[in-house]
Chains A and B, each alone.
Chain A
Amino acid sequence: MKRSRIAFALSSVVFLVVLAISPVKDMLLEWKGYQKDYNRLIQDLPQRVAPAEIGIRQIWVPKLDRVDRCVTCHLGMKEKALAGAKEPFGAHPRIDHDVEEFGCTICHEGQGPATTYKESIGKVAFWEHPMLPREYIEAACGKCHKEKTVTHAPVLSAGRKLIEEANCIGCHKIAGYQRQWVPTLNGIGSKVNRAWLYAWLKDPKAYFPKTKMANFHFTDAEADIMADFLMGFTSFSDSASLDPLPAEAAAPTEAAKTALEELGSTRISEARCISCHSINGKGGSIATDLGKVASKTSQQWLYNYIKSPKRFQPKVLMPRFRFSDKDLAGVVTYMKTEYTDYDLAEPPKHTPDPQYYEKGLALFKKYNCRGCHELEGVGNTGEVGPELTFVGSKKLYEIDFGQSGIEESLPSYLFTKMTKPRVFSSVAKMPDFGFSPEEARAVAVALLGNTNERIPEEMQVRPKQASTYDPQGEFGKLVNDLACFGCHTMEGRGRLVATDLTQEASAAKRDWIENYFKVPYSLRPILTERMPNFRLSDPEIKVLTDYMSKVFLTDTLAHDLSVTEASAAKGKLLYEERYGCKGCHQIEGKGGYVGPPLDKVASRLQSGWIFHWLKDPQALRPESIEPNNKLSDQEAEALTAYLLTLK
């Protein structure tokens, strides 16, 4: 009896203690501690902040099928007074999306339903979406925003631009990117010399630092084989053949040679080659560097190419200058003298490998040169890399980290891959693009945004449809021939280096446009790029301006107004005293030169354009830095009247 009573008492107490473990643990939950800390913290603040009720808080986002309990501990998210406070109580930085509507994990990833710190970070077993490190946060924007340029997401936008320009699509299937133009290899053997090709294959950036071509780290033997292989392709596309140098290029005397060089130099300045081509690093970056081009190719090839670029590089965005043979003779002579690498070493003696063709072809296929470069006579597909359309959803167990020793996460994998592509495997073939750490991070961010996460239709932001504008007829032929799209956009197509021309006839007067084709004087001196002088004939100019004046019009931009002395005087007052236009514009030599001088603006621009421009510059040219002074209609009309007196 006694023993059983002791057993009863003892076991009851033990039972009670064991039973109490769970309720006591419930009272001491981690998040309760944080909430109590928060309530203590806000008491010390000078501002009045409402204390938090103790309890689990969550944001339930049914349309994204997520529930985020981060707000249980992150209590200061909306309190301005807690900006910069110790985490987890700091206020959230200003963002474009409402936290209540989106939740937290859609941007930050991590384990939303968790209520402990470690689990919420998500770097735990069986949770496949750990939190994105801070520097990769813009990747989440990329999940819904599929435009090329995403406002307030500069890293993402930069990464997407890099992916497009590097032509990753050459080896990796990836939705939403356009193939970039890359020079064809047809006829490469008739274009370049072998020594140059060998050096190029070994290190492209040594010749042209801004080249998009990556470094394949060929061994000397491989580079030899590739060079021999490629030099065998001597036929150009469409059976084009090189014309011999013109007679004018023969320079028997030193004086004749100097004359030719001077002519060439003049033509090169007028043609403003430097707007697109850098020359020893100085100038535009759209096309290749010309500083050493005469060591790369022959004068004959240069003559043929400049005479008719698309014959030897179909679809290239280089304009066809209307040079005479004499002009061209001058140009190539000048180039031979000035654009040669005099320090280039003599290449060592070389005997080709007897199987250079088979081995070269194997290398060509192995590294998928065909992915970027067209080459007739070689099969269509080489070996490609994995598809990247959903690479942001790649699971950890699908990644082989090899011996790299990096942190085992997807962001760090992608970052490392961009800087050291072959570090993960001894048989990796991806070339080295020479990305800086910032560039590599931007690309990694852009790739991380390529997920297969199901985003509701109404939350997706689709990229703008590609323009289908394709000018036809005589105008179309000229646009193609002159590669206008290389610097101008029209109807949504082209590259914006200069201005958009879609409304040009509403902007500029026809006379001025015609004259400008003849003499493309510099309108904005501080810019590097200038419109080249194509030496167009009058009929050609007429075709262009006829089309422009009929098509590149926007009727709503017309705005006739009568210029009276009174209104012009009022406008002059506004110009000089009220809005400080002199800061950026010159009249009669007085003023700044940020914007174009306004001396003859009435002969250049239409009255309607001036009026609407003053009202809202960015509505007409989004990239303009002209301030929007929110002028009233009367002020704008007065200023327009004044400017219209400046003929």
Chain B
Amino acid sequence: MDDKEEKHSKEENAMSRRYFLEIVGGGAVLTAAVGSAVVIGQYLSPNVLREPALRFKAGLIENFSADSITLDKEQKVFIVRGKEGYFYAMSAVCTHLGCIANWKPEDGVVACPCHGSKFNKEGNVVDGPAPRSLPRFSVTLDEQGQLVVDKSVIVGEDVILKV
């Protein structure tokens, strides 16, 4: 009789000891599981990268003649110098699927060998499956007369470096 009453009263109590222990234990396990997932996610995301710097020296301004396009292969950037002598830096990565597009002087276009996208000197798409024009990066001049390109800063088409 007594046992049955005890059991009965325990089941009526909202936070029975059994329930509490189950919550604590299960909660701890759940927290540990979620925490492990977070920690594994942190583990998988690298904290340091050995990649070429996004901000780099492209060369002295004297090395670029007027009305020229020079490709920096390692950084995948075009340094463009207009007829009047101003500079801008344009990405050489085709906006379609990421191949390096090359400047073809005989056709006057930047052409991608993978799927036939073509861009004009300003970076706008003139042909092919590319969805967007080639983005432009910020280009500044440092104290020694070197061009400094920063690929982490995208600038508009109207931004040029006057020297």
Contact = CB atoms under 8 A, between A and B. Distances in A.
Contacts of B21: 5-6, 8-9
Contact of A16 (B31, B48, B50): B31
A5 B29 CA distance: 14
A112 to B, nearest CB: 12
B83 interface: no
Interface string A1-27: 010011011111101100110110010
Nearest to A10: B25
A385 B53 CA distance: 47
Given A8-B22, A12-B24, 12 more contacts: A2-B18, A5-B21, A6-B21, A8-B21, A12-B26, A13-B24, A15-B29, A16-B28, A19-B36, A20-B35, A23-B39, A60-B50
A55 B49 CA distance: 12
Size class of the contact patch on chain B: 20 to 34
Given A5-B18, A5-B22, A20-B35, A56 B28 contact: no
Interface in B29-52: 29, 31-32, 35-36, 38-39, 42, 47-48, 50
A100 B47 CA distance: 19
A67 interface: yes
B5 to A, nearest CB: 18
Interface of A: 2, 5-6, 8-13, 15-16, 19-20, 22-23, 26, 55-56, 58, 60, 62, 67, 69, 100
Contacts of A20: 35
A530 B104 CA distance: 70
Interface of B: 18, 20-22, 24-29, 31-32, 35-36, 38-39, 42, 47-48, 50, 53
A56 B24 CA distance: 37
22 contacts: A5-B22, A8-B21, A8-B22, A9-B20, A9-B25, A9-B28, A10-B25, A11-B25, A12-B26, A13-B24, A15-B28, A15-B29, A16-B31, A19-B35, A20-B35, A23-B39, A58-B48, A60-B50, A62-B50, A67-B48, A67-B50, A100-B53
**Most A CB atoms within 10 A — which of B20, B29, B35, B53?**
B29
B35 A9 contact: no
A388 to B, nearest CB: 36
A9 B53 contact: no
Contact of A15 (B32, B39, B50): B32
A226 B21 CA distance: 95
A23 B29 contact: no
Contacts of A22: 39
Contacts of A56: 47-48
